[in-house]
Structure 1
Amino acid sequence: MNNNSHFLSFNRKLFLSVISLFLVFVVCFLTYQYQREKEYKIELLHSKLQDYNSRLYEEIHEDSAHSKEQYLDYYVKKYTLTDLRVTVIKPNGDVVYDSYEKDKSKLKNHIERKEIQRALKKGNGYDVRRTSQTTGVSYFYSATAYPDFTVRTALPYNVNLTNSLKTDRHYLWFTGFITLVLVFIFYKFTQKLGVSIKQLREFAQRADRNEPIEIALESATSQNELGEISHHIIEIYKRLHETKEALYIEREKLITHLQISHEGLGIFTKEKKEILVNNLFNQYANLISDSNLLSSEDVFTISELQVITDFIGKMQNRPIQKEEKRMSVTINKNGRTFTVECIIFQDLSFEISINDITMEEEQVRLKRQLTQNIAHELKTPVSSIQGYLETIVNNDNIPADKMKVFLERCYAQSNRLTILLRDISVLTRMDEAASMIEMEKVDISAIVNNIINEVSLELEERKISVINSLKKNIQIRGNYSLIYSIFRNLTDNAIAYAGSNIQIYINCFREDENYYYFSFSDTGVGVSPEHLNRLFERFYRVDKGRSRKLGGTGLGLAIVKNAVIIHGGSISAKNSQQGGLEFVFTLAKEK
């Protein structure tokens, strides 16, 4: 159950609070009006009795020929109101005349009567309701003080007097009706106001829970200021929420990019506190550091990065500039080369990136070495061809048989040069355009059989037998030329370097859902263990003199390795137990 259900809503609180104050005001107003009306009726009756007192005094004062008591009886009976009691009192309080009691001895002194006290002080006075000690009846008394005596008249509280003093109730009904109308109008107003407050409260609760805002804005269509304010607040929040969502998406993109980036990236506050760091940053920092780092912030304790730390401290102490501040250093540590770059941003936070350029440096070195090797390999046949041709050109009397020998040697060297350029072209194509190589269904068994037939004469000359254990229809999706290069280069390599009177074994010894596993071995002379890991390097030769004499380019096994990799496999070389060299490699069924 919602805790808010235990409390009144805002509009009800407002309604009850204002209506309570309004009702208190109405009650006070009615009480005041009632009292005022009552006093008005009393004053009206008092004034009427004062007029009678004044006429009675004038009659008594002017008529001195008759007995005052007799005359008073006569005047009271003739001119007074029904049930009107008249009393004449001396200044000392003794009663001179009372129309209800003729025996004056029974009448007490009236000096203490309230109306008499007021009359003696102010000239006239009244007492609203007091029971007479003489008659036992409640009267309304009105007294007027004159120099020689005080005249007091009294009316008994009968039905007529009570009705005459009763306040007019019409204004009460009118006030009640107006009050009900105003309460209804204010209820409607607070109800409409409550809709806006309720929606604002719902909006605040959803915003606090980070939920989508889907409020039907009835208040937004109302013509009150709170409705307009509610509409504007919610619209502003929606725009802020959309902006926050967009920033969150961009942040996720940035984090994903940092995590899959091939460089170590670390972003820190100006106090050198970590904001965002990827795994490579920690990995590279630990490779540079002499000890394992417990946190990313420990990178600032690495002595090799002290120059970066000093740069950060120096630049943060300078006035802020618009342009970014950068610094980069190169560090060689543990056989690896790193470039470290620092960028300081406008708010003095900064980014440190660490790149492992060991492979790039190695690639530069290998390319430089490859260029030198290519130049060296090309130099030998070109020099031979040039030397033989110069001999022929400069000797007019050279014998025909000797010239024929020189030309044959030139032709052999040109063939060697052609093969070298072809192999270089194949490697370049595999390096730079591997993704553009066309793939099709290739029958490996048929390719191997064709290669054996092509080299049958060479095999016969060197007394080499081939034991092909491949079953029929071993098919993969690959490039025919590259698959052909794999098995042809391995075969040519065995024929050239394994020796005579040997056997070559070709076998697919295993198969699973993804790969075929091949073995290509011979029973020849083999290779010393120190050369095994370098057999696939370009232009690497175990016996350089013998290799050139046999016409090899030094690129055959490099072509084999690249072709295997392009077909999703891997290759390694080892000396077999039967003697000779064995190549074990895999080819993916679908590439």
Structure 2
Amino acid sequence: MKIKFRHRIYIFSFGIPTLFAVMLIVALKPNPIVCGLIGLVMLLMIFLTVAAHHHFIDSIHNLKYYISYIRNNDRLPDIIMSLDSEAAEVQMMIQEMYKQLIEHRKNIEAERNKLIIHIQTTDVGLAYFTSDYKEIYANSHFIQYLNTLLDTRTFDVCKLFDREIFASVVQFLQHNGGKNIYTDRLNSHGLSFFLKVMLFDDKTFEIMLRKRDDEEINQIDQVVMISNIAHELRTPVTVVSGYLETLLEHPKLAADKSKEFLERAYSQVIRLSKIIQDTTILSKTDTAPQYYSLEQVNLHSLLKDMIEIEMKEILEKNHCTIHLSVNEDLCIQGNTVLLYSIFRNLTENAIKYAGNNVTIRICNYMESGHYYYFSFADDGKGIEEIHFNRIFERFYRINPGRTRETGGSGLGLSIVKAAVAFHQGTIYAQNRAGGGLEFLFTLKKTINE
């Protein structure tokens, strides 16, 4: 019969000191008083050793129970257990991270529901399939358009893969040559449809069908936005799930390793929050700009607070300096949140791409009757000219790997452009002659004129 770990500890704790005491007594042959003292000392050592081992093992068992309870019940226990110092620290970290993850999971679920509602109500036909061509989801417009193209009535959208009109789609899925997007135009019964296939990294794919009309560009942007959001959310959610699963499956993982995994998971949670926040701003500027309140905003005070308070830590961490040359009395009738987002996102972009020890200069270099003219420039390495036509596109990344490592959402410059447009201005970027990247933009003094 196997001896339990705890019993082996007891045998070790009792046996070694007792054997040592017997050997000492035999070797020294002391008088009875000395023998008694030696015995008392050894008994005290045995008691302290057993107590320490007992406390440690109980702490490990309690921590294992704590993690198992969370895994099995998907909630925190009502009672906080007494653990030793290191285990207690891990427990508190797990508890805090779990609460934050639950909160962000609720936010993600809410955004997911919004996306599903949008997919259900959009005029575009959307269908999602597994890698082996099984249906995941198809909205009503996709079924309607598919029936028109196939000249039949069916709810089985998978039938499209057997029809000649969709042969090019099957060909692309089987031999895509590393590409993940395929577009085509389909015609049937005098109707013209725009077809788009988007292949994801896990080999699942989306098929979009849309009747061509005057709102073609806007509808394409909406669908691309939805697909990109889904793609961006998938990566951090997968990473967070992986780290948490490891922690739950290995409750005896070293405290420093557990802390490292929790910190990595937390960084992905922050990225999720950033994506959700940025998506909300863009959605509101696109569909409901009238709900942004207008007020007189002192831009100098706004920028000074951003530099000296909100972004002080990140600027110091990256050894970045900002030189502000904006008139102290410069005021714009606009929205505070959007004006702040312009300069905040430009600053974050400069830190990510220009590197450490960069100097940023913000100035309003000119003024006309209705507009202020601004320059936002850094002295970094700049970017290749091929990127200038696309840097304001949503989810476009000059260096995808680096941006994801630093936690960017891929929407920063899109928000900048939308916020500038809200204030009836324009923006473009260029490389500076002396090195670095410069954004030149205008903001209208009073946007309701």
State the TM-score, normalized to the length of structure 1.
0.39
Residue in structure 2 matched with residue 529 of structure 1 by the alignment? 385
CA contact (8 A) 2:420 2:442 kept: yes
Q: Please tell me whether residue 451 in structure 1 is matched to residue 306 in structure 2.
A: yes
Question: Would you say 1:499 and 2:355 are equivalent positions?
Answer: yes
* Counterparts of 2:301 and 2:214, CA distance in 1: 39
Kindly indicate whether the alpha-carbon contact (under 8 Å) linking 1:506 and 1:521 is maintained by their aligned counterparts in 2: yes
CA–CA separation in structure 1 for the residues paired with 2:247 and 2:192 = 56
Preserved contact between residue 437 and residue 479 of structure 1 (Cα < 8 Å): yes
Distance 1:451 1:525 in 2: 24
Change in Cα spacing, 1:443 to 1:357, as seen in structure 2 (3 Å) is farther
CA contact (8 A) 2:193 2:212 kept: no
For residue 572 of structure 1, give the secondary structure of its aligned residue in structure 2.
Answer: strand
Letter in 1 for 2:396: Y
Matched, 1:490 2:346: yes
Q: How far, CA to CA, are the matches of 1:485 and 1:513 in structure 2?
A: 25
Bigger Rg, which one: 1
| 1:589 pairs with 2:424 | no
Where in structure 2 are the equivalents of 1:54-453 lying within 5 Å? 360-453=215-308
Count of matched residue positions in the alignment of Structure 1 and Structure 2: 242
Distance 2:336 2:434 in 1: 32
Partner of 1:79: none
- The answer on whether the counterparts of 2:362 and 2:374 sit within 8 Å (CA) in structure 1 is yes
- 1:471 paired to 2:330: no
Deviations 1:411-451 (A, max 9, x none): 11111111110111111111111122110101111111111
Conserved in 2, the CA contact under 8 Å of 1:517 and 1:587? yes
Q: Give how far 1:499 is off.
A: 0.9
Q: 1:569 matched to which residue of 2?
A: 425
Cα displacement (A) at 1:493: 1.0
Give deviations 1:184-222, integer Å, cap 9, x for gaps: xxxxxxxxxxxxxxxxxxxxxxxxxxxxxxxxxxxxxxx
The alpha-carbon deviation at position 466 of structure 1 amounts to 1.4
CA distance in 2, matches of 1:357, 1:529: 33
Provide the residue aligned with 2:118 in structure 1: none
What SS does structure 2 have at the residue aligned with 1:557? Answer: helix
Give the whole-Å Cα distance in 2 for the aligned partners of 1:444 and 1:358.
42
From the superposition, tell whether residues 357 and 439 of structure 1 become closer, same or farther in structure 2 (CA, over 3 Å). Answer: farther
8 Å CA contact retained: 2:351, 2:358: no
Q: Per-residue deviation at 1:456?
A: 2.3
* Long gaps (5+) in structure 1: 1-326, 333-355
Name the residue aligned to 2:404.
548
Q: Is the Cα–Cα contact under 8 Å of residues 385 and 413 in structure 1 kept in the other structure? A: yes
Q: Distance in 1 between matches of 2:253 and 2:322?
A: 46
Distance 1:459 1:359 in 2: 46
Alpha carbons of structure 1 residues 445 and 358: separation in structure 2 relative to 1, 3 Å:
farther
Deviations 1:52-97 (A, max 9, x none): xxxxxxxxxxxxxxxxxxxxxxxxxxxxxxxxxxxxxxxxxxxxxx
Q: How big is the shift at 1:382?
A: 0.3
Moved over 4 A (4+): 327-332, 356-359
Q: 1:375 to 1:570 in 2, by over 3 A?
A: same
Contact 1:561 1:570 in 2 (8 A): yes
Question: Corresponding residue for 1:222?
Answer: none
Once the two structures are TM-superposed, the CA of residue 457 in structure 1 deviates from its matched residue by: 2.7
| Alignment-mate amino acid for residue 522 of structure 1 | D
Alpha-carbon shift at residue 526 of structure 1 (Å): 0.7
Q: Which amino acid in 2 is paired with 1:413? A: Q
Q: Which secondary structure state, in structure 2, belongs to the residue aligned with residue 396 of structure 1? A: coil
Check whether the contact 2:394–2:411 (CA below 8 A) recurs between aligned residues. yes
| Other structure's SS at 1:481 match | helix
Q: CA deviation at 1:544?
A: 0.2
- Whichever residue aligns with residue 508 of structure 1, its letter is N
Distance 1:392 1:467 in 2: 46
Q: Structure 1 residues 414, 518: CA separation in 2 closer, same or farther (over 3 Å shift)?
A: same
> Relative contact order (C-alpha < 8 Å, sep 6+): which is higher?
2
The offset of 1:394, in angstroms, is: 1.3
Identity of aligned residues (%): 44
Q: CA deviation at 1:359?
A: 6.5
Counterparts of 1:541 and 1:434, CA distance in 2: 26
In structure 2, the CA distance between the partners of 1:404 and 1:383, relative to structure 1 (3 Å rule), is: same
Tell me if the contact between 2:192 and 2:212 (Cα under 8 Å) persists in the aligned partners.
Answer: no
Give the root-mean-square deviation of aligned CA atoms.
Answer: 2.0
Q: 1:441-477 deviations in whole A, cap 9, x for unaligned?
A: 0111111111111222322232222111111111010
Shift of 1:368: 2.2
Alpha-carbon spacing, 1:571–1:357, altered in 2? closer, same or farther (3 Å): farther
Relative distance call for 1:331 and 1:418 in structure 2 (3 A) is closer
Which residue number in structure 2 is paired with residue 127 of structure 1? none
The Cα offsets for residues 290-339 of structure 1, whole Å up to 9 and x where unpaired, read as xxxxxxxxxxxxxxxxxxxxxxxxxxxxxxxxxxxxx976599xxxxxxx
Contact preservation (8 Å) 2:364, 2:372:
yes
Unaligned runs of 5+ in 2: 1-188, 195-210
**Contact preservation (8 Å) 1:533, 1:573:** no
Q: Which deviates further from its counterpart, 446-455 or 539-548?
A: 446-455
Query: What letter matches 2:227 in structure 1?
Result: Q
Q: CA deviation at 1:502?
A: 2.0
Distance of 1:331 and 1:456 partners within structure 2:
52
Cα distance between partner residues in 2 of 1:518 and 1:470: 9
| 1:492-527 deviation per Cα after TM superposition (whole angstroms, max 9, x unaligned) | 111121112221111101101100010101011111
Whole-Å separation in 1 of the counterparts to 2:193 and 2:243: 52
Q: Distance in 2 between matches of 1:572 and 1:501?
A: 24
Task: Indicate the residue corresponding to 2:19 in structure 1.
Answer: none
Partners of 2:391 and 2:397 within 8 A in 1: yes
